[in-house]
Amino acid sequence: MKIRLPKLSRRQWIIAGSVFAVILATSFTLRAKRKTPIAWNSGSASQPLMAEVTSGPFKQEVLERGEVQSSRSTEVRCEVAARGSAGVSIIEIVPEGTYVKEGDFLIKLDDSLLQADLNQQQIASNTSRASVVEAQADYDSAKLSLNEYINGPFRQDEQALESDEFVSQEDLRRAEEYFRYSQKLAARNYVTEVQLEADRFAVEKARKSLAVVRTKLEVLRNFTKVRNLKQYQASVETSEARLRTRENSHNLDVERLEKIKDYIAKCTITAPAAGQVIYANDGPAAANGDPIIAEGKLVRERQILVRLPDPKQMRVLARINEARIDQVKKGMQVNISVDAFPDGELHGVVQSVGEYPLPALIPYSTVKEYSAEIEIQNPPDSLRSGMTAKVAVEVASMEDAVQVPLQAVLERDDRHFCLVPDHNGSIEAREVELGPANDSTVVIKKGVSPSENVFLAPQNYEDYVTLPPSSTTQVAAASTGTGT
């Protein structure tokens, strides 16, 4: 789409240009007049809002919310393992809020499955015990067989061969003596050559018999004995290993049996310490309105069932926003107001500040919060765990400080100013040095004095003042010789 300009004469164009020049000059004149000081006390209909610079006590606080808890709370957990199921169900539990003493009844868990497991495990334990007795008898028998061989058959065989050796030695000696006697007789022709040859053969036979006996004795000692000993020792070691295996199996059965007995005993839970019963109904399921701890509910091993807080030692677990967590330190004094007691105020001390952010209360929230544990001093008896509290952490406190409202401070380029009216009816911009601030006022270290007035909403009057140059600009001007 094309825009067509109207056809004007030369005279009309000159008149239009003159009007535009007048309008432009008028706007520059008005802007120049805005820089002239205004008479703030001229008595016009709309006077600027001001506040007086005050001097007095100052307190800076971090305000957050938290939850009352016991600083010494005893947790009661489920110590029964679920055997083949999703958990153990609660049969009976004392009402929440009940005060109990040490040893009082708290919870009864279902032990019917454990009772069935107990009977089966008792049978398994008895069976494995019988196997141990049998293996022990085999082991003792193997050791007896080893000792019997060493002190029985081996010694008998050894002594028999030693006796045969002794007899063979004697036969050889007699044969040799008889042969020598035959040689003497043969030299005198009293015996025939055939008789002499027979006596020589008798000597050789006796020598061979002795060698055979000695070989048998050597084989018995060096080979037969070693082979039989290894067989008997292997039998002993095998029997011992079988015995140890069955003993370990029996010990496992006994351990399982004792564990089941222990689980059955732990199905009846008593109070380990005195306190008020608080159900551990925390977590995603409880947040959806579904209680975790109640009669008929399944619980798992190591799950917290109830807590027994000590009402004499209470604390507030506050959630501090990440923007203010660096201001909260250990040892700071805290004023605490509990929603249940609006007319009373409690006092406490910051005991610790968390190093890591807490889980978000709202899913997918990007707000980071850190925990601050605040010990309550002299908690009243009516204070209960789970109550909502507001905490005011005293970050800074001054007995006498110059203060102005937060709305009276103008920030430009990391510098801060207050606009102060003077007696001539103009406005002076003063650079101020700020101290700590709270939700309403800020401490002024330098720049204004008590009893002076400062403009509120100074940004509305910024065009009527000239901001003083910074110290850096003044130094630079002095160094170049352009300063006054």
Q: Convert the pLDDT of each residue in 306-330 to its tens digit.
A: 988 877 788 999 999 998 899 899 9
Place of tokens 């011992």: 240
Is the pLDDT reported for residue 16 higher than 70?
no
* Per-residue confidence band for 155, with pLDDT thresholds at 50, 70 and 90: confident
Is the pLDDT reported for residue 17 higher than 70?
no
DSSP codes joined into one string, 137-192? HHHHHHHHHHHHHHHTHHHHHHHHHHHHHHHHHHHHHHHHHHHHHHHHHHHTTSS-
Q: Convert the pLDDT of each residue in 411-430 to its tens digit.
A: 998 899 999 998 777 888 99
Q: Convert the pLDDT of each residue in 194-213 to its tens digit.
A: 888 898 899 999 999 999 99
| DSSP assignment letter at 461 | G
pLDDT given for residue 407 in this prediction: 92
The CATH code belonging to domain 311-398 is 2.40.30.170
The CATH code belonging to domain 76-109+267-299 is 2.40.50
38-50 average pLDDT score: 61
Q: Convert the pLDDT of each residue in 275-285 to its tens digit.
A: 889 898 876 55
pLDDT given for residue 353 in this prediction: 93
DSSP codes joined into one string, 415-452? EEEEEEE-TTS-EEEEE-EEEEE-SSEEEEEES--TT-
pLDDT given for residue 367 in this prediction: 87
Domain with residues 115-265, CATH architecture = Orthogonal Bundle (1.10)
pLDDT given for residue 95 in this prediction: 94
- Is the pTM of the predicted complex or chain greater than 0.75? no
Q: Convert the pLDDT of each residue in 251-275 to its tens digit.
A: 999 999 999 999 999 999 999 988 8
Q: Domain limits of the chain?
A: 76-109+267-299, 115-265, 311-398
442-468 average pLDDT score: 90
For β-strands 275-276 and 410-412, DSSP reports them as: unpaired
User: What letters, b where the CB count within 10 A reaches 16 and e where it falls short, cover 404-433?
Assistant: beebbbbeeeeebbbbbbeeeeebebbbbe
